[in-house]
Structure formats: C-alpha cells, structure tokens
Amino acid sequence: MWLTLGVAAVVLVIDQLTKAWAVSRLENQPPVQVIGDFLRLDLVRNPGAAFSLGTGYTFLFTGIAIAVIVVIIRTSRRLDSVWWAIALGGMLGGALGNLSDRLFRAPGGFQGYVVDFIELPHYPVFNCADMAIVGSAILMVILTLRGIDLNGSRPSG
C-alpha cells in the first residue's frame, strides 16, 4: 500500500506543479513549439473527459473519479505485487490530479475544468495526470496478459 501511495504522491506533485507552470506561462499566450510540429505546449481548460467528450457531465466525471480513487485505495491494501502497486499508484495519482482540478478550479466545486497543455499532432491536448493514467492502464494490461495477479503470483500451467 505504501508504494502505491508513494507513486500516487509523486504523480500528483508532478501533475500539479506542471499545471501551475502551464497556467502561469501559457495563459493568454500563443502555443509554444517545443519540437518542430511534433510537440507543442498550448493551454486548454477541458470541461469534459478524455478527448473533451461529455462536456456537460463534469459532475458525473467527478463522481466516477472519486469512486475509482476509493477502489484503488481499497485494492492497494491487499497488494503483494510491486508492479501492480506501481500501476495502481500511477492511476491513483492521475485520478487525484484531475480530480483536484475538478474540485478547485473554475467554474467551481465538482465542475472545474481540467488544465491540459501538452499537444501532439492528431491527438487531443493532455497533461501529466493523463499520461500517468494511460501509462498505468497499459501496465495493467501487460500484467494481466502475463497472468500476474495482484499478489504477484502467476497461475501454474
């Protein structure tokens, strides 16, 4: 459990620091080209979920994030796998990062906009919490495909 919470804390701190930096440096500014046309920084406030879907359901996404956080914390109490602890910690940290935007950013509690600022070609703008969530989901798929249980064991055969 402590590894899960530690990974979550690191992800949350990185996410909040980069969002604070993005708001202070990119707000009301033109996009910043970082690597040619491949990577640019462009501040966007997202009222919806991934890919700006469901912009009228911010309150619902907040509730889902809270439920995911509770399930991860409960699950982490019975983990014996380092890799599952890292995956769930990344997911928890990402969920907490975006949830904190929903709770504390305009336009108000439970309906705040998520700060996104990293842009790749032909892909929606995202943030560090989103990267942690996606990376954790990929790790979870790999662990599942390899047959690694939450306790770190593999079924025989």
Catalytic residue among 15, 42, 101, 130: 130
130 is catalytic: yes
Residue 43, token pair as written in the block = 């501040």
**Amino acid identity, position 62:** T
pLDDT value of position 26: 97
pTM of the complete model: 0.90
The region of weakest confidence among 7-16, 50-59, 98-107, 146-155 is 50-59
pLDDT value of position 151: 84
Computed from CA positions of residues 27, 30, 34, 37, in that sequence, does the dihedral angle turn out positive or negative? Answer: positive
pLDDT value of position 63: 83
Q: DSSP of the chain, one letter per residue?
A: -HHHHHHHHHHHHHHHHHHHHHHHHHTTS--EEEETTTEEEEEEEE-SSGGG--TT-HHHHHHHHHHHHHHHHHHHTT---HHHHHHHHHHHHHHHHHHHHHHHSTT-TT-PPEEEEEE-TTS--B-HHHHHHHHHHHHHHHHHHTT--TTS-----
What is the C-alpha separation between 3 and 153, in angstroms, rounded? 18
Q: Are 142 and 99 in contact (CB under 8 A)?
A: no
- pLDDT tens digit string along 8-40? 999 999 999 999 999 999 999 999 999 998 999
Catalytic residue among 37, 80, 116, 149: 116
Query: What percentage of residues in the chain have a pLDDT greater than 90?
Result: 71
- pLDDT tens digit string along 66-97? 999 999 999 999 999 999 999 999 999 999 99
101 is catalytic: no
